[in-house]
Chains A and B, each alone.
Chain A
Amino acid sequence: MLEDLRELWRYRDLVRSLVMRDLTVRYKNSVLGFFWSLANPLVQVATITIIYKYVLQIGIPNYSAYVLCAFLPWMFFQMSLSDAGESVARQYDLLRKVYFPREALAIASVFANLIHLLLAFGVFFVYLLWLGVSIQAGWLLLPVVILANLAFVMGLAFFVSALSVFYEDMTYLVGVSTSLFFYMCPVLYVTEQIRNKMIPQHWQPIIWEVYHWNPMAIFIEGYRQLLLPPFHAKNLNDLPIEPRYIVISVVLSVAVLIAGYAFFNAKKWQFAERP
């Protein structure tokens, strides 16, 4: 694995160039292209906000900010996995012709989405200031959450991109699983709502525990608590994330990253000769 990392470092320019390629192709060589690419999440968040606010009548101030804050990292997760799935499989001809560390393709597709996330967060900050949310010291912790989130997504991306080379229906499988996974992350709701009266008393602790073993849920909750004031709707008490869940999610993410990279490396020289 160390040898693989060293080789990857020698090819670091390749990763950077592939990221640049992904972004130029995505933004069509223009700054306007970046704002265009924000249109999709904005439209979705606007729709969600309208439905929750006016149809379901949940009177929460700045509800759109809470949704957007979770939606941007969610997009990062979802887009990274779908791009990573295609990254190696689509370059199949290239793999059969040229030597280079194959992981560069998977890494570049995640990094391109990371840059997109950072740019989108930049726009989000402007929106927050416009809403009147004041700058907080907690924002300085944001890079830590982003790094852990990156590790988790990258690890999964390694699995997905390697498996997609061998199995064409991986893309479909990943698409279905991520859309189910969406509901296991606090995007449309807040974590506090997991403790609701509909769930029988004795089930509550178990569900609460299991729910929090999902690193993506913790990260999304983390972004929210760092960026936005506590969510005081519906008389829910604001619950800070328990420290042990933070530790669990970071440990899990690093484990997924290492396992994913090891899996990818074990498979990568079979890519060019898949049956």
Chain B
Amino acid sequence: MSDAAIQLQDVSKRFRLAHHPVATLKGAVASFWKRRFEDLWALKSLSLEVPRGQTLAVVGRNGSGKSTLLGLIGRIYLPTAGHIEIHGRVAALLELGAGFHPDLTGEQNVLLNGVILGMRERDVRKSLDDIIHFAELEKFRDAPLRSYSAGMTMRLGFAVAVFTDPQILLIDEVLAVGDQAFQAKCLREIQRFQESGRTIVFVSHDLDTVRRVSGRAIWLHEGALRADGDPEAVVKEYLSATA
């Protein structure tokens, strides 16, 4: 067995782009004989191996396939072609507070969010105090979520995600949550993740963060790999090409 946490072999992903609404049964019947979709290849025959413990940054222009790549690793999509192998439990910080409900209290939401992310309920219960402490929301523990501010909600979501203790962490543009103090806390937490040998794949348009945090960077362009290697070099190449 190799020491790769993530392996992609010739992975392609096709989406179908609808040009007129077919989201109704009526519409589907009415447009049955028309050509309904345009094929859109979000990833084209991508091969990638991420060793255990690496922090990989993904850069690229809007629509270049970054979120699609994370979605494939996080098993939200199945690849249209190719083969994906994942070793270890994946947690996606694609959305903080997945499945939060405004009528439930902070504590009830933590429990639900934890099991949505794949934890056993008793394990979430065990970490309940720590999660709420980490989010610094003790005072709001039994208040319904609708009385939270947007930043507080995200803090709670981040806290749950951290405590699910995954081996592979996927982060898509969510590092900029909360106020300064909490952002610093998030970055510290991500560092702790790196130090304990966990694998991280993150997407960011903030090239400073890419240079500071990652050990390797790839540049996706129109669904294909354009550059791969040292973050400094990849970022430089990316910048000179887009400038």
Contacts and interface: CB of A to CB of B under 8 A. Distances in A.
Interface in A13-38: 13-14, 16-18, 21, 24-25, 28
A269 B77 contact: yes
Interface stretch (B3-11, B94-102, B186-194, B210-218): B94-102
Interface residues of B, number: 37
A99 interface: yes
A91 B37 contact: no
A269 B95 contact: no
A11 interface: yes
A275 B14 CA distance: 11
Nearest to A15: B115
B118 A11 contact: yes
Contacts of A124: none
Contacts of B17: 275
Contacts of B98: 94, 97-98
Chain A: number of interface residues, binned into ranges: 20 to 34
Interface of A: 11, 13-14, 16-18, 21, 24-25, 28, 91, 93-100, 163, 166-170, 173, 269, 272-275
A91 B117 CA distance: 15
Given A21-B112, A98-B117, A100-B116, A167 B24 contact: yes
B25 A272 contact: no
B92 A275 contact: no
Contact of B24 (A14, A28, A168, A273): A168
Contacts of B75: 99
Interface in B9-24: 15-18, 22-24
Contacts of B90: 99
A24 B107 CA distance: 13
B120 A13 contact: yes
B108 to A, nearest CB: 7
Interface string B106-146: 00100110011111110000000000000000000000000
A91 B118 CA distance: 17
Given A21-B108, A166-B23, A169-B25, A272 B77 contact: yes
Interface in B33-57: 36-37
B116 A98 contact: yes
B178 interface: no
B76 A95 contact: yes
B28 interface: yes
Given A166-B23, A275-B37, A94 B18 contact: no
Nearest to A169: B24
B15 A273 contact: yes
A168 B78 CA distance: 24
B82 interface: no
A174 to B, nearest CB: 11
Nearest to B25: A167
A241 to B, nearest CB: 35
Contact of A99 (B26, B92, B108): B92
B223 interface: no
A7 B31 CA distance: 37
Given A21-B104, A269-B78, A97 B92 contact: yes
B103 interface: yes
Contacts of A273: 15-16, 77
Nearest to A97: B95
